Amino acid sequence: AQTVTQSQPEMSVQEAETVTLSCTYDTSESDYYLFWYKQPPSRQMILVIRQEAYKQQNATENRFSVNFQKAAKSFSLKISDSQLGDAAMYFCAYRTSFLNSGGSNYKLTFGKGTLLTVNP
């Protein structure tokens, strides 16, 4: 079974600075998806960024980028120019690919989360 580990329960960053959140995972599959979700105090789960394992290029979305190291099974999230609105719980998640599962398993496996505080 796949597992996702976030080793940093809490992180803090100064506004306008850069912070990196760590995530490692364990899988025997070669094709899968990785996601970072953000959950602010409102409790709405918001997709931040996603990465397909077969793509070597790291995904980016504005101030958010990932460092995907497939061999090391590492998937870290970098937030640049941090803003107060970035304060939230961040979850890393893994999902097998459609082809691997035969369309029968879209289960997301989540890490325990990292609580990010942004200091003004």
Contact positions toward another protein, by CB under 8 A? Answer: 33, 35, 37, 42-47, 50, 91, 95, 98, 106-108, 110-113
Q: How far is the CB of 61 from another protein (least distance, A)?
A: 12
Residue 78: how many other CB atoms lie within 10 Å: 16
For the record, the structure tokens of 96 come out as: 């097998």
Q: How far is the CB of 56 from another protein (least distance, A)?
A: 19
Q: How far is the CB of 36 from another protein (least distance, A)?
A: 12
- Specify the residue, 67 or 109, whose C-beta has the smaller distance to another protein: 109
77 in Cβ contact with 116 (< 8 Å): no
- Specify the residue, 48 or 79, whose C-beta has the smaller distance to another protein: 48
Residue bearing tokens 């690919």: 97
Closest to 68 measured CA to CA, from 84, 56, 78: 56
CA angle 97, 103, 108 (to 5 degrees): 55
- Specify the residue, 68 or 113, whose C-beta has the smaller distance to another protein: 113
Q: How far is the CB of 46 from another protein (least distance, A)?
A: 8
- Specify the residue, 82 or 87, whose C-beta has the smaller distance to another protein: 87
**Bridge partner list, 75:** 68
